[in-house]
Structure 1
Amino acid sequence: MTRIPPWLLPHRVVIEPYLGDSAYGPKYGPPVPGVRAMVAEQVRTVRDREGREIVSTAQVITAPDTDCPAESRITLPSGRRTRALSTAHHTAPGLPVPESLEVMCE
């Protein structure tokens, strides 16, 4: 399987991976700056990780091995900070199409 080519990821985002909840609220890993991505800031109706229908205002496509679980904080190229609602790994075993990770953002 092939990875999505870097030339298809013209934007850079900052990802703070969600590590879980603590006694003081959500806990995040250290920020990872300069993550290559393709960002589309548009409104879409999606389902969150619990199956509820919600609105996503940005979609981020990045490399398949990017550490970005749902609830992670993401800073988009526009400077807007958002939260990952859900993630989807796109693979096609045996087919000559690239793998990627799609993140739907709040």
Structure 2
Amino acid sequence: MKVPAALLRHRVTIEPYRGDSAYGPIYDPPVTDVRALVAHTVKQVRRASDGREVVSTAQVIAAPGLDCPPGSRLTLPGGRVTTAVSTAEHTAPGLPVPACTEVRCE
């Protein structure tokens, strides 16, 4: 079971991170109008790239299978541009809870 679309009230834009080049980070073209639920919550999380603990100031919940690896750029509903710190797929096969993708942002 997926997270119900009716709960995903916000729209975000995601530029998936693909790596670094001699000229800086490489991103795929922006994916606009991604349905999500955005919460501006402060939480300490571990950065996937180097294991350091950083403070996350936004949490984005979206449908499962979202292409948003750590390092991706996100534009939140208010226009703020942020970077994904960690991404987690939540599933619970056989249980009556929805599957979703959680992205923690700087």
Q: Is 37-46 or 79-88 further displaced after alignment?
A: 37-46
Structure 1 Cα separation of the partners of residues 21 and 64 of structure 2 = 28
Structure 1 residues 5-20: aligned runs within 5 Å? 5-20=4-19
Query: Secondary structure of the equivalent of 1:95?
Result: coil
Query: SS at the partner of 2:54?
Result: strand
Residue 3 of structure 1 aligns to a residue whose secondary structure is coil
Name the Cα RMSD after superposition.
0.8
Deviation at residue 42 of structure 1 after TM alignment: 2.1
- 2:6 is paired with a residue whose SS is helix
1:42 aligned to 2:48? Answer: no
Between the aligned partners of 1:56 and 1:44, the Cα distance in structure 2 is 5
| CA distance in 1 between partners of 2:37 and 2:81 (Å) | 16
- Which residue number in structure 1 is paired with residue 88 of structure 2? 88
Give the Cα–Cα distance (whole angstroms) in 2 for the partners of residues 62 and 81 of structure 1: 17
When normalised by structure 1's length, the TM-score is 0.95
SS of the residue aligned with 1:34?
A: strand
**One-letter amino acid matched to 2:9:** P
Task: Report the CA distance between 1:74 and its aligned residue.
Answer: 0.0
Q: Percent identity, aligned pairs only?
A: 66
Distance (whole Å) between structure 1 residues aligned to residue 19 and residue 6 of structure 2:
33
Structure 2 runs not aligned, ≥5 long: none
Aligned residue pairs, count: 105
Q: Is contact 2:65-2:89 (8 Å) kept?
A: no
Q: Which residue of 1 aligns with 2:52?
A: 52
TM-score normalised by L of structure 2: 0.95
1:66 maps to 2:31: no
Structure 2 distance, partners of 1:82, 1:24, is: 20
2-structure distance, mates of 1:96, 1:48: 30
